[in-house]
Amino acid sequence: MTVTHEIAVVGGGLTGACIAALLVHHGRIAPERIVLLAGGPPEPIDDGAPALRVAAISRASERVLRAAQAWTRLNAARLCAYERMRVWHESAATQSAAALCFDAADIGEPNLGFIAENSALTHACMESFRASGGTVVRSPLAALSITERNAQLTCEDAGTLTVRLVVGADGAQSLVRERVGLGVRRREYRQSAIVATVRMNTRPGSGSCTPGRWRYCLCSTAAVRSCGRPMTPMRANCAIAR
């Protein structure tokens, strides 16, 4: 069977899109020989309120995204640098020695990283891949067979692809992982979480600022009961994002 592509990346989320962009720029393979099976339609990019699903991008992750030529495609106005992170047990005071603190000043950096919306990150990686000549197939994977010579991927709406290498980045319910026989053990966290975006009048640690200018993401993980006994309560708060 004729090989149609060298590499197929299965999964159109942030991981798959970033891998595809890195391959097209650094894989030393003709871009048209790399295909990204992105599944359904892309997640819409909203220019309004910040999306609830965000990621804390470390400086190392920023370098990866720059290598993928995706970082410069992000809207800088929707990124927010974070300089500190503090995590504490519910039973401890926030300013006590028991709190776990990270501060950019301790490592001589201007910040620890950035808070960015997942949809924007995925879109930037996808556009980098596409602009460099990569092929995006908007069809879910229906079947996968692997031989010693190649792999065949059957798409629901785009026929069959024959490739030399398959990269599985199709999430928790991975069809690729299932087809190659990789087992996985799952367990519940038995915890609940609240994610919210709020508008503040002042930026912590910097005095007053224009009311409504800064938006903050507050995350709190609450304790729940397991087998009739309360689990150890943990709370993590973060005040970040414009």
Q: What is the pLDDT of residues 7-52, one digit of tens each?
A: 999 999 999 999 999 999 999 999 999 999 998 777 777 777 778 8
Residue 193 lies in a domain: yes
Residue 78 forms part of a structural domain: no
* Whether 152 contacts 176, CB under 8 Å: no
- Domain ranges, residue 25: 5-73+118-180
The rounded distance, in Å, linking the Cα atoms of 112 and 104 is 5
In the 8-state DSSP scheme, what is residue 49?
S
**Do the domain assignments include residue 25?**
yes
Strands 234-236 and 54-58, by their bridges, are unpaired
Model pLDDT, residue 173: 87
Same domain, 11 and 48: yes
- Provide the number of structural domains found in the chain: 2
Residues 6+ apart with CB under 8 A from 20: 9, 34, 36, 125, 126, 129, 134
Partners of 88 in the β-ladder: 235
Higher-confidence residue of 232 and 39: namely 39
Tell me if 241 is assigned to some domain. no
| One domain, residues 128 and 160 | yes
State the burial class of residue 153 (Cβ atoms within 10 Å of its Cβ: 0-12, 13-18, 19+): buried
User: Are 176 and 170 a contacting pair, CB within 8 Å?
Assistant: yes
Its pTM stands at 0.79
